[in-house]
Structures are given as structure tokens and as C-alpha cells.
Structure 1
Amino acid sequence: MPTEILVRYGTIPEVARFDAAEIAPIQRGEMVLVNTHRGTQLGEVLDPVRTSLRDPTFGTPVVQETAESLPKVIRRAVEDDLTASRALRVEAEQEFGDWQQRIIDWNLELELIDLEWTFDRKKLILYVLNERGPDCTKLALQAAAAGLGIIEVQPVNADGLVTVPASGGCSSCGAH
């Protein structure tokens, strides 16, 4: 049975479950590389997932995903990974002012609060104080048109990351 763990990753953190069977046993506080919806990221192990969440005698399972559908931990982080992560953080801090200026130049109503590179440096994530809206899309499109790479604009509010609301089609019945 896979060893499920909770991992916190990202500058504005997200927590997700991962399958760590390939590298078990693993301890709280260890750093691991995980493949997330954003790309490869460095994360911190928070805790193993309690098996009672899957135990059918425990009542209705709280966890809906099957263990087989969980993303896998790529590997434990080594010192070179930690060094590379620090270098990416420094690079992001150096680019912050440039991105603030681009937002002003492109006349967007967004406030940049942070940015980060994914560990594989394939995507730059811009965290903006705003709801998901046209200016977020414009920022991503302007960046692509300027040849600045793959940019993900992630709105943030007082409650954390702003997610895309689930679409229910044209009404509330849930049919598409």
C-alpha cells in the first residue's frame, strides 16, 4: 500500500497529498521534490496521512482520491537541490521590480505581491492581490507576447490562493 504524505510547497503555500512509497520511510520536516499542477516544486513533508481516512470501518472515507491517483514524490531533496532552490528565490527577488514595472507599463490593475520559479524553471508564478479576472489574463498574454516565457498569474486574497470557480454549465443542475 502506498505511503501517503502531506507536503507543503510554494511561496504562498499549498498543501497536497503525495505517494511516497518509493522513498519511504519519510519523516516530518524532510524536503522532497514533487510534481504538482504547476510543475516540479520543492516541498516540506508535514505528516503521513492517517490510514483511518481510508479505513472502511471508520465510516465514510474523508479522502475521495484513490492512492493510485496521487502524484508521486520524485525524490528526497539533496543539498544541491536546496542550493538551486535558494538561487531561484534570489533570482525571483531580483526580478520583482521588473515585473512591477511591466504591470504599470501595461496599465493593469494588479498589485504584485510575490513571484517564484518552479524548481525545473519551466514556469514563473506571479502572485497578485486581486480576484481572478481580465487583468490576470492580460498579464499572462502580455508576458507571452513579450517572449517572457510561461507565466502563471495566481490571484491571492486574505483567505489565500483564489481558485477558479467550478462551472456548472448554464444553471445549477451541474450538467454541462
Structure 2
Amino acid sequence: MYEIVGVRFKPAGKIYYFDPGDLPIHKDAHVIVETARGVEYGTVVVDKRDVPEDSVVLPLKQVMRIATAEDSQTVEENRARARQAMQVFREKVEKHSLEMKLVDAEYTFDRNKLIFYFTAEGRVDFRELVKDLASVFRVRIELRQIGVRDEAKILGGIGPCGRLLCCSTWMGEFDPVSIRMAKDQSLSLNPSKISGLCGRLMCCLKFENDSYQGEDAMA
């Protein structure tokens, strides 16, 4: 058995597991951890617990420390810098005549990397853009092309049900959704009726699908 805590880096992001060590960590605490992207600031969403070895990917990295008020201030400063960086990005995209739509930007906690998230119709050759951005910000630049579902998750909004989007409020990861699920639930196959803000099939079709499959099995 391994003792773990679950950490999220965004409100509805994927949960990653870390070794809490001897730190007095509890749910909702903020922690500093090392990830593949660098040193990051996250929120504990899964309290300390023991799990079987096959439930986690080993080796687990240990939580570096519990975050301080100064760390929280750094996060706010990083967000402000990222917002400023978005304007520079748009100017550089126009300069290089690239067909890209900027969705979001973020610094890693240690400010060693600046990540831009964008959408585009196809593949984009942004090598010269990256060089240009690196010369401005003097940090490692990463451009990450995302899909329309990820765009909706980042930007948020109100779904057809009148509630905030599930993907932007609590869903950690997307599950596959198929038109078959709409058919099994006897829903209209009109795309405008079963599509979310992203233009893809609504995720809630997946949430309710198991119940309908159970009813079919009993029938």
C-alpha cells in the first residue's frame, strides 16, 4: 500500500497523485510539487489515504512543501503576467500572419515556462513565432494546440440546461460520447438539441447512459 494525496492544478483539471511524506497535509490545502512541466502550485482535492500499488503510477514524487501566503501571491502575479503575455502573443501572431486563435496562457509556478493554448483549423508552423516569443519573454515557450472541447473547458459558459458547463466546473477528464447514446435515450438526433457549447455531443449523454443500459438489460 502507498500513502497518497490527490492534487489538482486547475479547478476542473485532472487529479495527479503525490507522496505526502511526513507533511501535515489535508484536503483543500495548497502545496508545491514538482511535475513534468516544472515546479507547480496545486490544491489538494483527495485527502491522505492508502491505495494499492496498482492504483498509482510509480514512482510517486513527494510533495515539496505546503504553500505559503507568498506562494499564493506569486500565483496571482503569474496570472497577471500571463494576461499581459496574451496581448503580445496576439500581436506576434498577426505579425507572422498565422491562423491561430489564442484561448489561454499560463506561467508555471517557477516562471521557467510560459504556455500558450490555441485552436486552429489544421497544423500550424509556429517555429518562428516561438523564437520571437522567447526573445521577448526570456523563458521557455510552449505552444499547445487544443480542441474545441478543451477550449470550452478553459473558457467556461452556460450549457443548454442553464447551468455552468460540467467540463469547466468539476469534470477532470473527458469521456468518449457517441450518437448511439442519444439513440438509446430516445433523444432527438437534431445536432442543435444534443450538442454543447463546444459543438460536440453533450457530455451528459455519457453520464446518463449507464442508467438506460441498465433498463435495457432488465427489459
What TM-score, normalized to structure 1? 0.72
Residue equivalent to 2:141: 151
Whichever residue aligns with residue 4 of structure 1, its letter is: I
Partner SS state of residue 28, structure 2 = coil
Deviations 1:103-138, CA, capped at 9 Å, x for gaps: 111122211111111111111011112488443555
Partner Cα distance (2:2, 2:22) in 1: 8
Whichever residue aligns with residue 114 of structure 2, its letter is: L
Partner Cα distance (2:67, 2:141) in 1: 25
Partner Cα distance (2:148, 2:64) in 1: 32
Partner Cα distance (1:13, 1:122) in 2: 21
Residue equivalent to 2:213: none
Sort the Cα spacing of 1:64 and 1:32 in 2 relative to 1 into closer, same or farther, 3 A.
closer
Partner SS state of residue 86, structure 1 = helix
Partner Cα distance (1:12, 1:104) in 2: 32
Partner Cα distance (2:83, 2:25) in 1: 31
Give the superposition deviation at 1:102.
Answer: 0.8
Residue equivalent to 1:6: 6
* Aligned-residue CA RMSD (Å): 2.8
Q: 1:65 aligns with which of 51, 57, 68?
A: 57
Give the superposition deviation at 1:97.
Answer: 1.0
Sort the Cα spacing of 1:144 and 1:31 in 2 relative to 1 into closer, same or farther, 3 A.
same
Deviations 1:68-118, CA, capped at 9 Å, x for gaps: x11221111000100111111111112221111111111222111111111
The structure number with the bigger radius of gyration is: 2
What TM-score, normalized to structure 2? 0.59
More strand by share: 1
Give the superposition deviation at 1:16.
Answer: 1.3
Give yes or no for the alignment of 1:102 onto 2:92. yes
Give yes or no for the alignment of 1:85 onto 2:75. yes
**Structure 1 stretches of 5 or more lacking a match?**
56-60, 162-176
Q: Please tell me whether the aligned partners of residues 109 and 135 of structure 1 are also in contact (alpha carbons under 8 angstroms).
A: no
Residue equivalent to 2:15: 15
Larger deviation, residues 152-161 vs 41-50: 152-161
**Structure 2 stretches of 5 or more lacking a match?**
152-219
Q: Please tell me whether the aligned partners of residues 3 and 48 of structure 1 are also in contact (alpha carbons under 8 angstroms).
A: no
Once the two structures are aligned, what percentage of the paired residues are identical?
Answer: 28
Whichever residue aligns with residue 52 of structure 2, its letter is: R
Residue equivalent to 1:54: 52
